């Protein structure tokens, strides 16, 4: 007897084949729960991959959580279970009841669910996202031709739940995606950022994980609203020419009973050997990158955010932990690869596949690696044995920079190289300079409280540090609150201390960061040759005794170049002279001594004419009175 013809919404042989090969890039349209029409009946089609389960049924509000009411059919050869249930209403909660090979029953949330019960609840919700409303066609079309190497990228890293809260609310006081979208657009446009990076968007059970321990990879967290609300926010940012990046966590997942861990009673998504499949330090499971279906789950998830929800880039968390088999492990706690080395060959292949597919299908999108070691060619071409990322977090620069900034200015002359060393490898990768949430938690102090001294000195140090960062080679990222000198460390439990902006010192820092960001975005010399040797040039990298750094940023056509002078001590240099390459006029664009930046407000000439007088190995120079912790940016 011939097998009945599959309905279009059902899992077919081709779906199974592609999923088994790891190449079903839209598998999220088949697995999970989907509202469909079966003849004259409206209902929901459920499909879940549980290869070692003895049986699976769907339990939920629609069947009073009865484990016998809706058994699922096993589809071979992959062990995908399916069923159609009529009359299931929108947003009804459900789980999969899985009978394990040992005869136990476990209840799991849907790995492909698009919406979830608000924590502490752990159920999935039936939710139709098939008709999201978009009006960002212009943005998406422009994105196809956008090149991150040639354009400004200044990122505002934000945790929605603690950026701002509604006062006096009995619940968490969270802004919804729509509330946040309206407010963040106004703030980001005013400040001059080009992109917003959101942490903690994929569904996660514990607020304190900040979203880095995910249970719902295909579900925007219900803390802030529905998937439609999330799409509205993305659309709204795009309509105002603001890009949006998500933190994405393919490195590990938590052991919560309703999540991916031991999904069908066996290690399904994770490596079976605990030496491969567990992070001892983090108490989490590691994805099995050698399993095609798991690779497919993750690659399709990246595409889900970039293609289905129009996300402009993914910041990939904890890349180093994936690349190294011995990451965070002692001898005997890890298994070498077939060559006896500590490289995870399967993770390397995964990254090459991931980046080739995501960026190949979506020109103009970005894949950004948070990679903390000297692994070669992280942003190199896959064809040249690189990993294929667009950008890499420059953790070396961040470490050296923060160590230098913490020093008493008296000792900076002995550590001058901390600020110059990054230029020796600046072109080995495509870098983004980051001062992220990780630098202002766990007793590391806020950025302001890392600074030495008291009062004026702290704020002045922060100003000159930010200026150096903005002038340095590399894209930029600042975590929320750093732009107005948040005093306390960040906590996900409370909103930022916006009341500080009533204090002139904090308002001055915000003014300074705003003007630096607009300078960065509006002056091509700051970004268009970021990844080329000709884009940056030291004037004096060796003035260690005075702890002064001077350098130039060049535009490609050479018509609008910038000169930075940064004084990292409280000593005034009234007789400061800087060498320059041309006998031109140098226009003062930015002066940290202005009153709005917390300076003295002393009047200064706006134009300086270079004289034929050798300085810094240059034939020409001009004099400029450099105040304590002074910053001056000139255009020529």
Cα separation, 134 vs 131, in Å, equals: 9
Give the β-pairing of 80-86 and 93-99: unpaired
| Of 462, 607, 621, nearest in space to 539 by CA | 621
Say which of 370, 439, 515, 593 is annotated catalytic. 370
Compute the 3-state secondary structure of the chain and give helix, strand, coil in percent, each to the nearest 5. Answer: 30, 25, 45
Quote the DSSP letter at residue 7.
P
Cα separation, 552 vs 534, in Å, equals: 10
- In whole angstroms, how far apart are CA 367 and each of 50, 70, 246, 379, 430? 30, 41, 10, 9, 11
| Of 532, 569, 537, nearest in space to 452 by CA | 569
Token duo for residue 179: 């509330």
Per DSSP, helices labelled H in 157-306 are 160-163, 177-191, 227-239, 274-277, 292-303
- Counting other chains too, the contacts that 165-170 makes at CB distance below 8 Å and 24 or more residues apart are 165/494, 165/495
The position carrying tokens 């390459």 is: 581
Give the β-pairing of 631-635 and 585-591: antiparallel
Cα separation, 502 vs 487, in Å, equals: 13
Say which of 157, 262, 317, 439 is annotated catalytic. 317
Beta strands in 87-172 (DSSP E): 93-99, 105-108, 124-125, 154-159
The position carrying tokens 């953790």 is: 395
Angle between helices 227-239 and 177-191 (to 10 degrees): 20
Catalytic residue list contains 333: no
Phi/psi of residue 629, nearest 5 degrees: 50, 30
∠ CA 327-302-204, nearest 5°, is: 70
What count of residues does the chain have? 636
Cα separation, 377 vs 389, in Å, equals: 9
Does residue 250 contact residue 298 with C-beta atoms inside 8 Å?
Answer: yes
Phi/psi of residue 300, nearest 5 degrees: -65, -35
Nearby residues of 358 by Cβ (< 8 Å), 6 or more positions away: 299, 302, 303, 306, 314, 365, 367
- In whole angstroms, how far apart are CA 223 and each of 126, 162, 267, 338, 351? 17, 12, 29, 44, 30
Does residue 92 contact residue 62 with C-beta atoms inside 8 Å?
Answer: yes
Grouping H, G, I as helix, E, B as strand and the rest as coil, residue 106 is strand
- In whole angstroms, how far apart are CA 172 and each of 121, 175, 200? 15, 9, 16
SS3 letters across 349-418 = HHHHHHHHHHHHHCCCCEEEECCCCCCCCCCCCHHHCCCCCCEEECHHHHHHHHHHHHCCHHHHHHHCHH
Phi/psi class of residue 629: alpha, beta or left (left: φ > 0; alpha: ψ in -120 to 50)?
left
Cα separation, 141 vs 96, in Å, equals: 40
Catalytic residue list contains 503: no
**Residues forming the active site:** 317, 370
């Amino acid at each position: 007897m011939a097998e009945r013809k599959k309905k279009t919404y059902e899992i077919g042989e081709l779906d199974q084949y592609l999923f088994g090969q790891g190449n079903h890039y839209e598998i999220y349209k088949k697995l999970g729960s989907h509202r469909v029409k079966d003849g004259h009946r409206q209902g929901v089609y459920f499909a879940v991959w549980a290869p070692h389960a003895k049986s699976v049924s769907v339990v939920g509000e629609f069947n009073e959580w009865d484990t016998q009411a809706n058994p699922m059919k096993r589809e071979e050869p992959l062990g995908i279970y399916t069923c159609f249930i009529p009359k299931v209403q929108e947003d009804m909660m459900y789980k999969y009841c899985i009978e394990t090979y040992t005869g136990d029953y476990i209840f799991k949330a849907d790995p492909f669910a698009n919406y979830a019960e608000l924590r502490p609840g752990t159920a999935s919700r039936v939710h139709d996202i098939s008709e999201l409303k978009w009006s960002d066609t212009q943005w998406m079309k422009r994105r196809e031709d956008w090149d991150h190497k040639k354009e400004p990228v200044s990122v505002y890293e934000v945790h929605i739940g603690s950026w701002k809260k509604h006062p006096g609310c009995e619940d968490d006081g969270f802004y919804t995606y729509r509330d946040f979208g309206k407010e963040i657009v106004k703030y980001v446009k005013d400040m001059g950022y080009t992109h917003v990076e959101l942490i903690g968007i994929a569904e996660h059970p514990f607020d304190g994980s900040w979203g880095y321990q995910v249970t719902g990879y295909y579900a925007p967290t219900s803390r802030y609203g529905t998937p439609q609300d999330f799409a509205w926010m993305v659309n709204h940012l795009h309509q105002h020419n603001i890009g949006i990046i998500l933190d994405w966590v393919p490195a590990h997942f938590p052991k919560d009973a309703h999540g991916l861990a031991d999904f069908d009673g066996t290690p399904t998504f994770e490596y079976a050997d605990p030496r491969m499949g567990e992070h001892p330090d983090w108490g989490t499971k590691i994805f099995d990158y050698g399993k095609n279906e798991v690779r497919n789950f993750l690659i399709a998830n990246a595409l889900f955010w970039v293609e289905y929800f129009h996300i402009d880039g993914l910041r990939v968390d904890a890349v180093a932990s994936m690349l190294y088999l011995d990451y965070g492990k002692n001898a005997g706690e890890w298994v070498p690869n077939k060559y006896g080395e500590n490289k995870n060959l399967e993770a390397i292949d995964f990254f090459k596949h991931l980046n080739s597919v995501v960026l190949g299908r979506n020109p103009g999108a970005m894949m950004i690696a948070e990679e903390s070691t000297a692994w070669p060619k992280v942003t190199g071409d896959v064809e040249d044995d690189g990993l294929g990322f667009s950008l890499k977090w420059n953790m070396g620069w961040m470490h050296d920079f923060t160590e230098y900034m913490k020093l008493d200015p008296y000792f900076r002359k002995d550590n001058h190289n901390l600020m110059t060393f990054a230029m020796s490898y600046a072109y080995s990768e495509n870098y983004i300079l980051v001062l992220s949430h990780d630098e202002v938690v766990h007793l590391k102090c806020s950025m302001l409280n890392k600074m030495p001294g008291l009062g004026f000195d702290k704020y002045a140090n922060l100003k000159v540090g930010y200026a150096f960062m903005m002038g340095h080679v590399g894209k930029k990222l600042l975590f929320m609150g750093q732009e107005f000198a948040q005093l306390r460390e960040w906590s996900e439990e409370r909103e930022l201390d916006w009341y500080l902006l009533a204090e002139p010192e904090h308002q001055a820092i915000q003014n300074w960061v705003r003007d630096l960001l607009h300078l960065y975005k509006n002056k091509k010399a700051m970004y268009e040759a970021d990844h080329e040797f000709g884009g940056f040039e030291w004037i004096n990298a060796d003035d260690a005794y005075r702890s002064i750094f001077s350098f130039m940023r060049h535009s490609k056509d050479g018509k609008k170049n910038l000169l930075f002078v940064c004084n990292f001590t409280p000593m005034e240099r009234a007789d400061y002279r800087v060498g320059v390459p041309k006998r031109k006029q140098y226009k003062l664009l930015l002066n940290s001594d202005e009153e709005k930046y917390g300076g003295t407000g002393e009047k200064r000439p706006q134009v300086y004419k270079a004289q034929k007088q050798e300085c810094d190995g240059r034939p020409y120079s001009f004099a400029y009175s450099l105040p304590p912790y002074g910053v001056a940016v000139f255009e020529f």
